[in-house]
Every structure is written in structure tokens, then in C-alpha cells.
Structure 1
Amino acid sequence: MDQHLQVFVTVAEKKNFSRAAEELHMTQPSVSQYIRTFEENIGTRLLERTNKYVRLNKAGEIVYHHAKEILGLYTNMQHLVDDLVNKAKGPLSIGASYTFGEYLLPRIIANLLETYPDIHPTVTIGNTSEIADLVATHQLDVGIVEGHFKDQQLRVEEFAEDYMVVVASPNHILAKKRGVEILDLEKVTWIVREKGSGTREATEKVFHRFKLSPAKLMNYGSTQPIKEAVEAGLGISLLSRWAIQKELRNGDLNIINIKGLPFSRKFSIVTKSPFQTKALEVFLGSLRNNKMLTTFHNGKR
């Protein structure tokens, strides 16, 4: 790997030569020399320097973006070569959208590490479009998402089904009403996820299916605050059954039964490279053959 690339990326992220030198276990003059040589090779300055800060200029932003992708490709190449003679081990960077990442992934990783303790996973949680972008730029080995996104170069494999239901607080007017009608859903506040999330996409599909125009929408950035808002009686929401298991058992949320629901969507595995490390290979196998997902969707959970 070109050490100049690594030094440049570290300085850009630390925004400070001293902190970058500490991170790289180098002296500050050595870091400065690497940056000067790198800028000379590129043919222009990449960093703006003052006594208070170091930051990327326009050219630096372009180089940083591609440098991150190059470093990701190099690391993946190194792992693939190592795997030719070694068993499944080493780093595995996993991205997941909120529903899967918060409510399903922890148990799957725990089971994986019982068999493969030398795998070292790191997890990034974000909405569907964010995770797809990180996989596309080789910053994640794999993503697990729901919903759709625009990137024809990614490999997408549907592997499990998710069911989404309308939920409300037990004290909400709709939870107490017998025979909830579609028009009733328009008169109440909906608690929804932000644009770009798979849950928001599913919610908008339900709105379109039932020709709903809710009186008011409240936006939240993840599922947990949505559940708390619904429990507090602020409104209703469309959520995955995976995300509300504890709340249903404890009686904190009620499912509002509506003809035409639950809404079904797919969880998908997203990858970029056609080559897989052994660590990624066994992780993907654990997803495809996971009995927990099969049991739930056979109605036994």
C-alpha cells in the first residue's frame, strides 16, 4: 500500500499533523514530508494549513474520496490473499439499516462468533441509502438493508421477509376503537422515519396503497424514538414486527388490525466485489441459513 495515501487520509481525518503523527506512530516532521511529497506528485496543494487548523481544499476533497476507496480495495485484496491459506478470521465491516441492525444483527453476530471467534466484526448503522453508498465505495464489506436504492453496480440478494404493522399506544383512540377504517388513519398523526430509510419507503407505499393523506407527519431519525413517541400517545406508526417484540409482550404497544396489512418487504444483502474473504463468506452463510428468520416468518414466533 502507498504509505503516502494512508498518511494523507489520516491527516485529513484528524485535521491536525500532530494527532495524525500520533495515530500513525510517526514523527510530525515525517508526516509533513509525506504530505509535501504527495502534493508534489499530485501536482497541487490538497490541504489548507493555518496555526489553528488543517483542512481539505476542493482538490483535497476529490483526492480524499478516491483515496478512501483505494485503501478499502487494497485492504480487501490483502484479506482475500490471506484467506487462501488461512481459516475465516480477521476484520469484517458490516453495515445495516436500523431495523435489522438494532433488532436482528446483534444475535446473528453473537452466534457467528461462537463458531468463528477469530473474526472481528465492526458494525455501522444507518439508513438504507447511507449503507448502500458505503458498500459502493468499498468502505463496508457488506450491507443488510430494506427498501430500494439507485446503484446498478451493487450486488443485491433478497434473503428474508419482514412484516410491518400499524402500532399505537394502548390508550390511543384507534387502539380503543372497534373496526378501524382507512379514513380513521388520515385523521391522526403519523410518526415516520426520515427520507432515505427503508421504513419510510414502506410507509409511503402504504400511504399510496390506501390513498392516505395523513393530517400530520412527525419525522424521527431512528426506530427507538419512534416507539417512545407512539407509546407516549403522540401518534401511530408503521413498524417492523421485529422492532416491537418487547413492547407487544409488555403491553406498551398495540397492533391496529387493518384489512390489507401487514405490509411485506424484503431484507437484502448488498455487496460490491465479486470476491469474498472467508470471514464474509461464513457471515453470508449465517444470514442465508438463519433459523431465527425462518421461524418468525413461518408464524411460529
Structure 2
Amino acid sequence: MIEIKHLKTIRALANTGSLAKSAEWLHTTPSALSHQIKELEIKIGNPIYLRKTSPIKFTAEGQILKDLAEKVLPEIQDSENRIKDIKHQNKGKLRLAIECHSCFQWLMPAISQFHQTWPMVELSFNNDYMFDAMPGLAEGELDLVITSDVFETNEFHFEPLFSFDMVLVTSPNHELANKNYINAQDLTQQTLITYPVEPARLDIFKYLLLPANVQPKKIKKVDQTLMILQMVTADLGVAALPSWAIKEYEEQGLVKSIPLSKTGLQSELYAAVKYREKNRAYLQSFFNISKTVSLNNLNNVKPIKVNHN
């Protein structure tokens, strides 16, 4: 029976004290406003204010409506503002780069789910920063980077996604294929196939080879995971890859995987964004969707334990 427009009219009458000024306040004509008031009075069965009083004096029914307007309209305005804020965040651009080049196995389903949730966010990949993307994030060319390289900074926020096992991948007949685990010395006579990045950024160097002061016999750099696996199956070298990235190949008997070191080698994956942007609704949603999809669909992955101290 009582509509928002009626409450706005009551508030205008209370604030201005006259029908003419209320009409101006509400960007309408006095006759249109008078018609609306009569319509409301018919609905409630009594006048809402005393005619020919200046300023306007409300009847008992009008005072109830005035009190209701003062209570409800600010809440409606607040809700409208919050909806506008959310709607504003619904729109935007999410320019991604991936330093984890085996990520497409989980990232594509995550992006599909993200697009359904945030259809107004324009998502794109930037291949100009394939192997060193953090400068692109710093320069404003990117909005989010999938990376394993985490460092202390006040500029970036690194959202933990998941941890996973890095394994050595060989052909089934390779001399290392039946070892229980790989140590650094096992690789001194091997050709190691890697992505084209500095060795110090690769987990197998950071956590296995460099601490032992060991180098492989030869390094071949390849920029695609599929090509790396094809070279491994052809016995052209060995590679360190996430266990989930080679699961299908191992199930088909095309490759073997061996733990790196006696205790295994754990790597972690993060989503890096500008610190000031991290609380954007669609970025928080991207974080949550990525974690859920990866943990539900990948083999041998775990949440990253975050120290809040």
C-alpha cells in the first residue's frame, strides 16, 4: 500500500514545509504531487496533513508516515549506495600473466568459473611477460601474476593458492627411472630440460642443485610444457615439473616421476596483485575460485599454511 515514492513525498513535505517547495524538491509539478498525496490519502482513509497550514502540520497518520520515512529512506539510500559500489566493482579488467607454465590444467577451469561469476570483468592474458611478469605488474601493464617467486615488499600482495610436489620426469627406460629419489649428484651427467628463465628462479636449482654446488651436464631451454614432455618421452633429457602436470602422461606409461630428494621438493604457487587492489571483490573471488578448483581437481596439492604472527 505505502510505496517508496510516498515516503519521499512525506519527507519532502517535512523538510520544505509547503507543497510547492516539495514539488520543486522532488523535480515534479505541484499538481502531480497533489494528485499523488490524494491517492495516498484515499488508500489510508484519512488526510496526512492539515490544509492551509504553514508550515505544514501532519495528522496522526501523517506523523506515523513521517517517522517511517525518517527511518526507512536512509536505509534504502545506504543499500542503494552499497549496490552501486558492488556494481562498480563488477566491471573492470583483469590482465593476467603466468610464470607457472604448467598452470593451464587448473587455471582454465578456474577462469571459466570466474567468467560465469563476473561476466562484466574483461579478462585477458598478456604473453609479453611470460617468464618474468612482476615488472609488468609494477608498471601497471598487468593486474595479476601467477608466480612461485615471493619476496618481501610493500607494493605487492602475494595470495597463497596451493603447494605441490616437484618431481623429476624421465622416460620409462631412463637410467634414473627406478630410483627411490633423486639427489643432486644424480644429475651431474644429465641433460636438464627447463623453461627459459634464470636457473636461480627454478626450484630444482634453488633447493637441490645450488645448495649442493652441482650443475647438470647440459641445460636445454624450452618454453612449452608439452614440448618438454615430448622431449622427455624421446629420452632427450629429464625435467623437473609439478606432479599434477604429468599425471596423465605417467598413467599412459609415457614417463616416470621420481621424488626430488629423500624428503621431496615442495613448491608453492601465489597470485600476485598490487597491494592497494587486493580487496577488490572480483580479485578476492578469483583467489577463492582458484584455490577451490585447484584443490578439487589436481593431484597431490595442498593449501599453503599461512603464518599470521
Normalised to the residue count of structure 1, the TM-score between the two structures is 0.61
Q: Aligned pair in 2 of structure 1 residues 210, 86: CA closer, same or farther (>3 Å)?
A: same
Of residues 219, 230, 233, the one that matches 2:232 is 230
How big is each residue's C-alpha offset from its partner over 1:33-60, in whole Å with a ceiling of 9 and x where there is no partner?
xxxxxxxxxxxxxxxxxxxxxxxxxxxx
Structure 1 segment 102-117 matched on structure 2, within 5 A:
102-117=104-119
Q: Aligned pair in 2 of structure 1 residues 136, 161: CA closer, same or farther (>3 Å)?
A: same
Q: Post-superposition shift, 1:112?
A: 1.9
Q: Post-superposition shift, 1:82?
A: 7.2
1:284 is matched with 287
Q: Post-superposition shift, 1:191?
A: 1.2
The amino acid of 1:142's aligned partner reads: L
Alpha carbons 2:188, 2:215 under 8 Å: kept: yes
Q: Aligned pair in 2 of structure 1 residues 215, 117: CA closer, same or farther (>3 Å)?
A: same
**CA separation in 2, counterparts of 1:171 and 1:95?**
36
**CA separation in 2, counterparts of 1:285 and 1:298?**
14
SS of 2:226's partner is: helix
**CA separation in 1, counterparts of 2:95 and 2:181?**
47
Alpha carbons 1:128, 1:149 under 8 Å: kept: no
Q: Post-superposition shift, 1:148?
A: 4.2
**CA separation in 2, counterparts of 1:188 and 1:141?**
39
How big is each residue's C-alpha offset from its partner over 1:232-277, in whole Å with a ceiling of 9 and x where there is no partner?
1011111111321221121111012454253112111211151354
- When the two chains are superposed, the root-mean-square deviation of aligned CA atoms in Å is 3.3
Q: Post-superposition shift, 1:224?
A: 2.5
Q: Post-superposition shift, 1:180?
A: 6.4
2:222 is matched with 220
1:297 is matched with 301
**CA separation in 1, counterparts of 2:298 and 2:186?**
34
1:203 is matched with 204
Q: Post-superposition shift, 1:289?
A: 4.3
Alpha carbons 1:94, 1:141 under 8 Å: kept: yes
Of residues 130, 140, 143, the one that matches 1:141 is 143
* Unpaired runs of at least 5, structure 2: 1-82, 304-309
Alpha carbons 1:91, 1:120 under 8 Å: kept: yes
How big is each residue's C-alpha offset from its partner over 1:122-157, in whole Å with a ceiling of 9 and x where there is no partner?
123576762211111111111111124686522223
The amino acid of 1:297's aligned partner reads: V
1:249 is matched with 251
**CA separation in 2, counterparts of 1:224 and 1:197?**
20
Structure 1 segment 91-130 matched on structure 2, within 5 A:
91-99=93-101, 101-125=103-127, 130=132
Q: Post-superposition shift, 1:117?
A: 3.2
Return the index of the structure with the highest Cα Rg: 2
2:36 is matched with none
SS of 1:147's partner is: coil
The amino acid of 1:121's aligned partner reads: L
**CA separation in 1, counterparts of 2:123 and 2:152?**
27
Count the aligned residue pairs.
218
Alpha carbons 1:132, 1:149 under 8 Å: kept: no
Q: Post-superposition shift, 1:282?
A: 1.9
2:173 is matched with 171
